[in-house]
A and B are shown apart, each in its own frame.
Chain A
Amino acid sequence: MKKLIGLAAAFTLASSISGFAFEPTNPECIAPANPGGGWDFTCRQVGKTMQDLDLVPGTVQVTNLAGGGGGVAYAEVANKRADDNNLIVAASSATATRLAQGAYPGNTMDEMRWLGAVGADYGIVAVAADSEINTLPELMDKIKADATSVSIAGGSAVGGWDHLKVLLAAKKSGIDDVRTIKYVAFDGGGEAVTQLLAGSVQAFTGDASEAKGFVDSGDIKVIAVLAPERLEGDFSSFPTAKEQGIDVIGANWRGFYGPGKMSEEAYDFWTDAIAKTYASDEWKEAMAQNGLAPLDMTGDEFQAFVADSVANITDLSKQIGLIQ
């Protein structure tokens, strides 16, 4: 019954909004993970904002298509829904990481249209509030002296983005064999932070948004932000890695791709909708609340950006021996 009302509302709205050659009839956002994660958040929050701004008719239906670290959704869209104009899919650095490492067997980034980014979650490295370590170089020195004395917890699997960020920083600070670094994989950033508080591990690598609640409460100490410049708001007091002489940037961008054979009109519609969402005050507020930093890119520029980051990660993964 509710669905029917929603559908009816969608149709009346659809007829009242116009201006584009294309208008999605049943806008859908695939979150390639179970509810509760970053991709799910991206779909739901952006979908809600698009709905609030009347950019799309009715509601954006969020579909959770979990599996294979996004690979199931990727294959599904590439194989079965390649010409679906109503569809966008949430993506992030993790998508690029897996594409780079060949973890989506048989799929490449060229099979999709990369639509746009809606912000970036910069990486942070943190320690417990009462830790003797205060800076990123101090942490790296400790690892250099005795790699077994420091365990670093993160929310992604080994080889995932949380892991790679630390390895990047370690490489820049002169640790040659980054494979000696002890990385402990947990099920998500929240569990990893909890283990930092519990004292099981010495450091945490994750995204700024994952750590925000704990930073506000003073339970953890952020020793480096992996951003080009200091972040705004609550995180402005934390130094970047660059300031500390370790020139590394770890941005977990969040954005969307669409099916590779979507029509040009649909492509224009979605890139425009994402750009308008990004520019809105509602989205700015959501970004501030969630510790997302600006990253404004749509269309060709975004496509090039993703291609670039896939190439970089491929390079890094080869260097550290994750892939041949």
Chain B
Amino acid sequence: MDVLASLADGFAIALTWENLGLALLGCFLGTIIGALPGLGPSNGVAILIPLAFTLGLPPTPALILLTSVYYGAMYGGRISSILLNIPGDEPALMTTLDGYPMARQGRAGEALALSGIASFVGAFFATWGLVFLAPQLVRVALLFGPAEYFALFTLAFATLGGIASRNQAKAAFAAALGLGIATIGVDGQTGVPRFSFGEVHLYDGIDFLVAIVGLFALSEVFVFLESHRGDADAAADKMKIGRVIPSLNILRRTTGAMSRSTVIGFICGVLPGAGASLGSFMAYSLEKRVSDKNKTFGTGDPRGIAAPEAGNNAAAGGALVPMLALGVPGSGTTAVLLAMLLALNITPGPLLFQQNPDVVWGLIAALFIGNVMLLLMNIPLVSLFVRVLLIPPKYLMPAVAMISFVGIYGISGSTFDLMVMVGFGVIGWVLRKLDVPLVPVILGVLLGDQMEKNLRRAMTISDGDWTALFASPLAIGLWAFAIIGFVAPILFGRFFRMKHREEDVGD
């Protein structure tokens, strides 16, 4: 087959000592960048672009380095989610739901190893999807107009219910709060600033990384400060690490979750503007619907870790489809990679596969190599990562605060964002006190912004005709799923009391 021959050529390009070394470096740096709160894949790649320039790398090795960072960051984001309940970046948000409870049960090592394997499965099959389906999948992306995107994001919201709390009203309140935050900034369809109070820093809205770090990391610090926990309590709180290799039994139980999530995540990744966050969210909520028979999700169910991790890594691979096949970024990180291509005098676009096959196939081969490297690197490193848990909170929490401040300042270079972050920290602390889940807030910010934009676009195009939202079969299908997803838990939900996310939310 042509494709396999091209891929073999790609491996021939990628398998030099230099490129392997770059991939290893990229994977390592990426994992660390992903694990640090505040630094996500897109910032990580952007920060390392100068390194690629300084080393004077030609296009292919430069891309190999940067995509390794990209994949590495997608792996790394889970580490702080699981160990500290602080998402390292936005796609790792869902991993906190079951990852942190598992760590609290003394199964941190298992959770990390399992999520590493799930990441590998997601990324591995997504890369194969990229190899064989890129041209066909681009057509899927073209089926989505503003109306279909709106239906897709509505579907995401419809399945939000019950994801993070036993109290539906509080989850709904949190999501509404997120939606409200998403409206801050200049409205693209009218050019008018909203809720910005004449403050130029708010014109672009609230950066969700700032919100995540504030809500999760800083509020954790505040809770710690409030409780004045000393050494005695800390010792009592010390967690067990547990085994670092997941049992075959768990792997067998999570196989279904991983494969379903890979497919969902990959599709979300392919759609420009949806990206990895939607991928991991949809993967988690679908898996919860499909297999949460005993209501164990949110209390440390391994499938609740496998699903979002497979989903977000598959989405990372999927996001490369529109980037390589259309020259359109599917996520923030691919936008940075695209800019990198431009800077290397490669024109992205539909002809990239024909004009620069060496770059494309070298890159794809590097993805396979990087993915294997990441798996091999991550499993042994698990025992190192979990040692974070052995650090007493009185040392760990100041470090978390420091990393948060440095990370956010490093991205935006503005002290205003630091104040916004502290503001979110206070909000997060209050919400924790009130037992309001934090995850829906972030989902509201992440998804609400896109949902509104696409509704407004659809309305502009149709001159305000609401029926345009249900005009295509795809839109109708998405609406049907959204309605089922919303109604079904209400009908059946009363029989099963939704399990609580975890005990620490309130206090």
Contact = CB atoms under 8 A, between A and B. Distances in A.
Contacts of B272: 190-191, 194
Contacts of A182: 460-461, 463
Interface residues of A, number: 63
A157 B193 CA distance: 11
A309 interface: no
A100 B487 CA distance: 50
Interface string B400-436: 0000000000011110100000000000000000000
B295 to A, nearest CB: 39
Nearest to A2: B51
Contacts of A185: 188-189, 457
Contacts of B198: 105
A285 B343 CA distance: 11
Contact of A35 (B45, B416, B460): B45
B342 A290 contact: yes
Contacts of A219: 350
B200 A72 contact: yes
Given A44-B339, A61-B50, A187-B273, A216 B349 contact: yes
Interface string A42-58: 00110010010000000
A197 B142 contact: yes
A41 B457 contact: no
A36 B338 contact: yes
B461 A157 contact: no
A291 to B, nearest CB: 8
Interface stretch (B119-127, B256-264, B327-335): B327-335
Q: Which applies to chain B's interface (DSSP): helix, strand, loop or mixed?
A: helix
Contacts of A6: 54
Interface residues of B, number: 59
A25 to B, nearest CB: 17
B417 to A, nearest CB: 8
Given A199-B145, A212-B349, A214-B350, A68 B201 contact: yes
Contacts of B46: 34-36, 64
B38 to A, nearest CB: 14
B33 to A, nearest CB: 14
A184 B54 CA distance: 40
B292 to A, nearest CB: 35
A38 B411 CA distance: 18
Interface in A99-120: 103-105
Interface string A266-283: 000000000000000000
Given A193-B328, A213-B327, A186 B457 contact: yes
Contacts of B203: 67-69, 71-72, 103
B348 interface: yes
B377 interface: no
Interface string A209-241: 000111011010000000000000000000000
B186 A69 contact: yes
A311 interface: no
Contact of A200 (B145, B332, B351, B413): B145
Contacts of A76: 413-414
Nearest to B143: A198
Contacts of A8: none
A66 interface: yes
A190 B350 CA distance: 12
B58 interface: no
A198 B332 contact: no
A245 interface: no
Contacts of A187: 188, 273, 453
Given A35-B339, A194-B272, A67 B204 contact: yes
Nearest to B454: A186
Interface string A64-85: 1111110110011000000000
Interface string B95-106: 000000000000
Given A72-B414, A186-B457, A214-B349, A194 B201 contact: no
A151 interface: yes
A75 B200 contact: yes
Contact of B335 (A36, A151, A286, A290): A36
Nearest to B414: A72
18 contacts: A34-B335, A35-B49, A36-B329, A36-B339, A65-B412, A65-B414, A66-B412, A67-B201, A67-B203, A157-B186, A182-B463, A186-B188, A188-B335, A193-B328, A194-B142, A194-B326, A198-B144, A285-B345
Interface of A: 2, 6, 34-37, 40-41, 44-45, 48, 51, 59, 61-69, 71-72, 75-76, 103-105, 148, 151, 157-160, 182-188, 190-191, 193-195, 197-201, 212-214, 216-217, 219, 285-286, 289-290, 322
